[in-house]
Amino acid sequence: MEIKVVRKVLAVNEQMAAQNRQLFAEKGVFTLNLMSSPGSGKTMLLEKTLGRLLPRVPTGVIVGDICTTNDAVRLARSGAPVVQINTDAFGGDCHLAAHVVREAAEDLDLAAIDLLIIENVGNLVCPAEFDIGEDLRGVVLSVTEGEDKPLKYPLMFRVCNFALLNKIDLLPHLQFDKERAIANIRAINPGLPIFEISAQTEEGFAPWLAWLEERVREKQQTNRQPEETGNGR
Ligand code: MG
Ligand code: ZN
């Protein structure tokens, strides 16, 4: 019975995610779902990312936490429009579901942004199961975590389109085996682009932001030149 209930929840979520994806496409917004365990440095990463993208790439943020608006306060200092989701009001979910993202997106002027970054609730498990209508999924693994996280949470690393290995400035102080961590990611998802970065020092930001902006441009071009497929269903 339990399994049936979960399947139904996911099926409803899939429908809502498809509607989100259509809305974002209509508004010309490229969406990035950023996931990780708690404390991997997502919020600082976004603060520094916004500092580099704005105002050149108009970017909005949806940030999910179970409680508090701390992250939204930090991110809003960049000048980007920010909406905080507290899942406490939705039963304290440890992930963002598509309908919750939809509600938050309605508080943003989507016509005014090209990129929407969604900072998911810190959790390597169920966020991987919930499509929220995003274009791109990224996972942040910090070098203060175990090298075997990709092996322990394979679904997350399987569904993502890129990985950020964060806090590399701390490597000299840690026993962390970076090559083993990268090999573990590749064991789960062989072709996954992996960027080594430090949100603290902004080392490695140029290559990953260039890669991200290329994805945004690709989507904008696809939107401008829709394929003549007849769209028959
Ligand atoms: Mg955060
Ligand atoms: Zn959850």
The answer, yes or no, to whether residue 232 has pLDDT greater than 50, is no
Q: pTM for this structure?
A: 0.93
Strands (DSSP E) found in the chain: 30-36, 59-65, 82-86, 115-119, 136-142, 162-166, 194-196
Return all residues near 163 (Cβ < 8 A) that are at least 6 apart. 138, 139, 140, 141, 157, 185, 192, 193, 194, 195
**Reported confidence tier of residue 222, pLDDT bands at 50, 70, 90:** confident
**Ligand 1: distance of its center to the CA of 202 in Å?**
17
**Domains along the chain with CATH numbers:** 2-221 (3.40.50.300)
In eight-state DSSP terms, residue 175 is -
Q: Would you call 168 exposed, middle or buried from its count of C-beta atoms within 10 A (0-12, 13-18, 19+)?
A: buried
Digit-coded pLDDT (tens) for 8-65: 888 999 999 999 999 999 999 999 999 999 999 999 999 999 999 999 999 999 999 9
Query: In 3-state terms, what secondary structure has residue 86?
Result: strand
What count of other Cβ atoms lies within 10 Å of the Cβ of residue 221?
Answer: 9
What's the whole-number mean pLDDT along residues 162-180?
Answer: 98
Structure tokens that stand for 140 in this block: 């942040």
Q: Which residues share a beta bridge with 194?
A: 163
- DSSP annotation of 161 reads S
Q: 7: CA distance to ligand 2 center in Å?
A: 14
- Ligand of minimum distance to the alpha carbon of 37: 1
Res. 4 pLDDT band, cuts 50 70 90:
confident
Concatenating the DSSP letter of every residue in 26-59 gives HTT-EEEEEEESTTSSHHHHHHHHHHHHTTTS-E
Ligand closest to 123 (CA) is 2
Q: How far is the CA of 122 from the centre of ligand 2 (A)?
A: 10
**Mean per-residue pLDDT for 202-222?**
95
For the cut 70, the answer to whether the pLDDT of residue 108 exceeds it is yes
CA of 69 to the centre of ligand 1 (A): 10
Q: Which ligand is nearest to the CA of 36?
A: 1
Confidence (pLDDT) at 1: 58
171-182 per-residue burial string, b: 16 or more CB within 10 A, e: under 16 = eeeeebeeeebb
